[in-house]
Amino acid sequence: GVGKKHMGEILEAKRDGDFQSFEDIRKRVKLVPDPRKLIIRRIINEVMGKEKHRLFADA
């Protein structure tokens, strides 16, 4: 999932500019080899109320 380590690396990479695609995320964030799968799983967990903090889904 998206833990503190993943989140830190994602936010650090985003400082260099917005991500343009899943491939861009994969290239710039080494801890996330399959960003599509990670983001889909995160959205599902947010919608189901399993995440404390929401990144993609509104309450």
* Backbone conformation region of residue 28, classed left if phi is above 0, alpha if psi is from -120 to 50, else beta: alpha
The Cβ of residue 52 has, within 10 Å, a number of other Cβ atoms equal to 6
The encoded tokens of residue 14 equal: 């985003």
Tens-place pLDDT, residues 1-26:
677 788 888 889 999 999 999 999 99
pTM reported for the whole predicted model = 0.71
pLDDT at 46 over 70: yes
Report DSSP state, residue 52. Answer: S
Residue with tokens 């861009």: 24
Whole-Å CA distances, 29 to 3, 8, 49, 50: 14, 10, 26, 24
Residue ranges per domain, the chain?
4-47
